[in-house]
Amino acid sequence: MKILGIETSCDETCAAVVEDGRRVLSNVVASQVDIHRKYGGVVPEIASRAHIESLVPVVAEALQIAAAPAADLQAVAAVHRPGLIGSLLVGLTAAKTLAWLRGVPLLAVNHIEAHIYAACLERDPCAPGPFPCVSLIVSGGHTSLYHSTGPLEHRLVGATTDDAAGEAFDKVAALLDLGYPGGPVIDRTAERGNPRAVDFPRPWLGRESLDFSFSGLKTAVLYHVRGKGAGAKRRATRLSAEETADVAAGFQEAVVEVLVGKTLRAAEALGVDRVLVGGGVAANRRLRGRLQADAHAAGLEVFIPPMAYCTDNAAMVAGLAYHLLRAGRTAELDLGARAG
């Protein structure tokens, strides 16, 4: 069963064809990073307009790569929440139009649930899946822990009280003049730094808390960069390349330690022996390595999607849509998009 998925919740125009919820036949992503770079972040109105321009060619390319003419599609899926409302509407409206034209079901996918499902893509159908597990979702807009008992069953057990992890990466990269988007550039810069050169705080929020807070850590980086830390003099010169790499590595280490620590804490509290990670920050190499190592040491099984399915993509959307279809959870053509 082939399903076309469409994802336009933020600044990537994505379309993919996935067979039977697992086999990715195509996965096309048109990034708007170059358009938003000069503003240092995503400008919602510009994002919606860019989606309008890119969507038809992106869908055509996804169908062509998959060698799947529109007549072969059994359903059409789009993300309807959460995200930028104008951007969501572009993809959702296109999916409704195609579904109506072809006379096939429309499926409405939750972006966060799709990030969780990314860990199921391209897996051997005979291999055990990740559920039940603890799912850590770390993206530009979310940092959350879920108790996931199936592709469509997720209970929130922890969330950020302020910045999302990806947002913290983006803001710290801006403070360090490293450019946009911040996650990948901090990942690369940190490789040259010493994670122990600067001692940044680890926001644990108490022994049992499963919530996150990155604003204090971000402020600690700001003070360090500007030389306003306790007892420090205001810095007269900019950080050297070496100091910048040390700050990037120290910040990344603090974030990763807390993300991994709380994921393992949640697994213990919920009595599950599997953990999963998804979302753009799951592309971070230090997070992938540390989660792998610490979870194995704790006797847990780890599910980490390939890099291409961590950042926003439509394969995760078409994949999860298969389960919505099997559950009979199709959407009506008057369905609206939701920011939250």
Of the pair 27, 75, the CB lying nearest ligand KG4 is at 27
Of the pair 121, 220, the CB lying nearest Zn ion is at 121
**Per CB under 6 A, which region of 57-65, 146-154, 277-285, 291-299 contacts ligand KG4?**
277-285
Does the protein bind ligand KG4 through residue 26 (CB under 6 A)? no
| Residue ranges with strand state E in 187-226 | none
Of the pair 140, 305, the CB lying nearest ligand KG4 is at 140
Distance CA 200, CA 182 (A): 18
Of the pair 179, 227, the CB lying nearest ligand KG4 is at 179
Does the protein bind ligand KG4 through residue 312 (CB under 6 A)? yes
User: How distant, in Å, are the alpha carbons of 198, 246, 302 from that of 194?
Assistant: 8, 5, 27
CB of 140 to ligand KG4, least distance (A): 3
Does the protein bind ligand KG4 through residue 279 (CB under 6 A)? yes
CB of 283 to ligand KG4, least distance (A): 4
Does the protein bind ligand KG4 through residue 182 (CB under 6 A)? yes
Torsion of CA 88, 281, 65, 325, to 10 degrees: -60
H helix runs in the chain, sequence order: 33-36, 44-65, 85-102, 111-117, 165-175, 182-190, 215-226, 241-270, 285-297, 315-326
Contacts of 274 (CB under 8 A, 6+ apart): 130, 131, 132, 133, 134, 267, 300, 301, 302, 303
Q: How many CB atoms lie within 10 A of CB 211?
A: 17
Residue with tokens 């919740």: 9
Eight-state DSSP code of residue 212: B
Six-digit token string for 314: 């439509």
CB of 305 to Zn ion, least distance (A): 12
Of the pair 139, 148, the CB lying nearest Zn ion is at 139
**Contacting ligand KG4 (CB under 6 A), which of 183, 193, 203, 319?**
183
Does the protein bind ligand KG4 through residue 193 (CB under 6 A)? no
Q: Which does 253 bind (CB under 5 to 8 A by kind): ligand KG4, Zn ion, none?
A: none
Q: SS3 of 187, please?
A: helix
Residues that bind ligand KG4 (CB under 6 A): 10, 139-141, 166, 169-170, 181-184, 187, 279-281, 283-284, 311-312
